[in-house]
Chain A
Amino acid sequence: MRVLLLAEHNNDTLDPATRSALTAARQLGGDIDILVIGDACRPVAENASRLAGVSRVLWVEAAHFREPAAENLASQVLAVASGYSHVLAAATSMGKSVMPRVAAVLDVAQISEVIGVLGVDTFSRPIYAGNATQTVQSFDPVKVITVRVSAFDASDEGGAAPIEPVEAVSDCGLSRVVGRQLTRTGRPELGSADVVVAGGRGLGSRENFIALLEPLAQELDAAIGATRAAVDAGFVSNDLQIGQTGKVVAPRLYIAVGLSGAIQHLAGMKDSQVIVAINKDADAPILQVADYGLVGDLFEIVPALIDALR
């Protein structure tokens, strides 16, 4: 049993998603090596080496891994993958782009968005937007897995694994990243936030969305999320979408404001610990999953809630 975990990072810090994937890896048992692929990314390798339960950190640097293309990342994973029984990554946009390539070249199935480790070859995962849970067993010699981050707590520090440099594969030249527009909010990251405040079409406009939800998020030190309808209406950027096709979150507290709770949205948040729904429609589906439902005008309730929290 040897597990290889592909790290997610920005060359500077390790993404918390990797710490959650590590927790899933530790449930498999066996030795765990973390693979850090980047450029000038020594701090990331050091982060990874301090995590509990890690045997080794494999550290690869090359200029073409500064803003890596999925094709190159997959080649690098394949170059070190031999001898491992499991190859894991968090089910982020990076993991979802790279791991199917790895699995296809190894001629093995990939198991997506694992939410439970039931054995070394048996895993549970959501299907149909989380309306059903499937348990699958893999008969392949290597299990290639992406881990749903919200289903596992982040692993703590407490280790001191050796960092071993690994030779980089050459640039395959198939594609390259030519630009990035990353959203900077100054708020906690949506995928790992303790509290999420999410808004829907009920907020009516981008101005209202910001005027009401920003101060509420500020009071609660929360991340801001949105429904597909709110994103499509231009209230917020696409990376804040929560749901089947957006982010999946499971914070301690989820406050849903002016959103009805379409099944595609519920798929992205129904595992939150405590759900609060504020909606004018007493029949909105979100009120059926909410622990606390407050029916009324959000334009009165939200400012009152902000005042009460101050």
Chain B
Amino acid sequence: MKILVSVKRVVDYNVKVRVRADGSGVETANVRMSMNPFDEIAVEEAVRLRESGVATEVVVVSAGAAQCQDTLRTALALGADRAVLVETGAELQPLTVAKLLKAVCQREQPKLVLCGKQATDDDASQTGPMLAALLGWSQATFASKLTVSGDRLTVAREVDGGLETVECLLPAIVTADLRLNVPRYVTLPNIMKAKRKPLDTVTPEFLQVDVTPRLKTIQVCEPPARAAGRRVADVAELVAALSSRGVIA
């Protein structure tokens, strides 16, 4: 079984983002970039499935500028076998990414696609289910456990009230939640090995996908700041303050 994993290059999740003064977006120049953490979990799960003999090959895909090659090399160092970059300078929105991934899926014919449940930049949480819909495949979002048996997939999902278990027919799309696994550390020998693994580059034109954005960003601004609070000395002062604010009886 071949597994395809989509990975996105985003601002590192430890970086405190700054909004550009002109309101056009968030500053990304000279900012540390990394693989979206949920995508890293998806790659780890795919590699584990190959190591346990369930999968035969793990192909990682990214879409965006040439620098996404770094993200793909990280995925290869985590243990993926091969990478595909859909290279474009265009602003990519989830629907477009889903269409690009669909085109790659039609070429690669995977049985399972793993994605992160959301990217930590746009927090959209759309690409996985959109891809599933475009392909007419089953889906399991927010996965915290995944088992493959025959032509079926059993997935524990983290839902609002607790956990839900779904059974999906393969081929399927699964989006990874935090507790699916803890990704391994990338070792130096594996980084070296990753440099020699195949990385193909294609373009949206080659895949015949129109990348015109559907949403226009009018403005990006800082969220309203909270007014500075104050320290209270003890429980009595706290209770008095809360009472006078009317938040406790």
A residues lining the B interface (CB < 8 Å): 69-71, 74, 92-94, 96-105, 107-113, 122, 126-140, 173-183, 191, 195, 220, 228, 232, 237-239, 244-245, 247, 252-253, 263-264, 270, 273-276, 287, 289-295, 301, 304-305, 308-309
Given A93-B158, A244-B123: A130 and B163 within 8 A (CB)? no
From known contacts A103-B95, A238-B144, A309-B248, infer whether A175 and B129 are also in contact, taking CB-CB under 8 Å. Answer: no
Minimal Cβ-Cβ distance residue in B for A273: B247
Closest 5 CB pairs of A and B: A174-B138, A109-B214, A101-B133, A179-B165, A104-B130
Task: Please give, as numbers and ranges, the residues of chain A lying within 8 Å of B38 by CB-CB distance.
Answer: 245
* Min distance, Cβ A98 to any Cβ of chain B, angstroms: 8
Pairwise interchain contact A263-B16, C-beta atoms closer than 8 A: yes
Cα–Cα, bound, A272→B3 (Å)? 42
In the complex, the answer to whether A292 meets B232 with C-beta atoms within 8 Å is yes
Contact A112 B126 (CB under 8 A): yes
22 contacts between A and B (CB under 8 A): A93-B160, A97-B142, A100-B125, A101-B133, A104-B130, A105-B133, A105-B134, A132-B221, A138-B214, A139-B214, A174-B139, A175-B139, A175-B168, A175-B172, A177-B166, A178-B154, A183-B162, A239-B159, A247-B160, A289-B226, A292-B231, A308-B236
Q: How many angstroms from the CA of A294 to the CA of B229 in the assembled complex?
A: 11
Asked if B122 CB lies within 8 Å of chain A CBs, one says yes
Min CB distance B241 to A, Å, is 6
Which of B64-72, B75-83, B113-121 binds A? B113-121
Name which residue of chain B comes closest to A291, CB basis: B229
Binary per-residue interface labels of chain B (79-102) against chain A in the complex, 1 for a CB within 8 Å, 0 otherwise: 000000000000001110010000
A292/B139 contact (C-beta < 8 A), A135-B217, A136-B217, A274-B247 known: no
**A116-B227 Cα distance, complex, nearest whole Å:** 21
> Which residue of B has the minimal Cβ distance to A307?
B235
B168 touches A305 (CB 8 A): no
**How far apart sit A275 and B219, CA to CA, in the bound complex (Å)?**
29
Neighbouring B residues of A93 by C-beta, 8 Å: 141-142, 157-160
Q: Are B141 and A97 in contact (CB under 8 A)?
A: yes
Interface size counted on chain B using CB atoms at 8 A: 79
Closest to A305 in B: B235
In the complex, the answer to whether A70 meets B160 with C-beta atoms within 8 Å is no
A191 to B128 Cα, complex, angstroms: 25
A93-B159, A175-B169, A179-B165 given; name 9 further pairs at CB < 8 Å: A97-B141, A104-B133, A112-B124, A131-B17, A136-B216, A174-B139, A238-B158, A263-B16, A304-B234
Residues of B within 8 A of A220 (CB): 248
A100→B162 contact, CB < 8 A: no
The chain B residue with its CB closest to the CB of A90 is B160
Residue contact B223 to A132, C-beta cutoff 8 Å: yes
In the bound complex, residues from chain A placing their C-beta under 8 Å from that of B172 are 175
Contact of B120 with A104 in the complex, beta carbons under 8 Å:
no
B21 located at the interface, meaning its Cβ lies under 8 Å from any Cβ of chain A in the complex: no
A contact residues around B26 at 8 Å (CB): 127-128, 132
**Alpha-carbon distance between A100 and B93 when the two chains are bound, in angstroms:** 12
In the bound complex, do residue B17 and residue A308 qualify as a contact, i.e. CB atoms below 8 Å apart?
A: no
Q: Which residues of A contact B245 (CB under 8 A)?
A: 274, 291
B126–A137 contact, CB under 8 A? no
CB nearest neighbor in A for B38: A245
Q: How far is the CB of A143 from chain B (nearest CB, A)?
A: 10
Contact with A along B148-162 (1 / 0, CB 8 A): 000000100111111
Interchain CB contact under 8 A, A308 and B235: yes
Contacting pair B218 A264 (CB below 8 A): no
Asked whether, in the complex, the Cβ of B120 is within 8 Å of the Cβ of A128, the reply is yes
Counting CB contacts under 8 A, is B196 at the interface?
no
Complex Cα distance, B232 from A139, in Å, reads: 50
The distance in angstroms between the C-alpha atoms of A198 and B15, with both chains bound, is: 25
B184 interface residue (CB < 8 Å to A): no
Q: A191 contacts B247, CB within 8 Å? A: no
Across-interface contacts of A99 in B (CB, < 8 A): 129
Q: Which of B176-192 contact A (CB under 8 A)?
A: 177-179
Smallest CB-CB separation from B139: which chain A residue?
A70
Q: Is A111 a contact partner of B215 (Cβ separation < 8 A)?
A: yes
In the complex, what residues of A have CB within 8 A of residue B247's CB?
Answer: 195, 252-253, 273-274
Most buried by B among A130, A132, A305: A132
* Shortest CB distance B138–A (Å): 4
When A93-B160, A109-B95, A273-B247 are in contact, do A101 and B218 touch as well, CB less than 8 Å? Answer: no
Q: Are A109 and B138 in contact (CB under 8 A)?
A: no
Among the interface residues A111, A174, A273, which one has the most CB atoms of the partner chain B within 10 A?
Answer: A174
B220 at the interface (CB under 8 A from A): yes
Contact call A100/B126, Cβ cutoff below 8 A: yes
Q: Which of A98, A136, A252, A292 contacts B230 (CB 8 A)?
A: A292
The answer to whether A69 touches B166 (Cβ under 8 A) is: yes
Query: Are A110 and B94 closer than 8 Å at their CB atoms?
Result: yes
Instruction: Please report the C-alpha to C-alpha distance between residue A113 and residue B120 in the assembled complex, in whole angstroms.
Output: 14
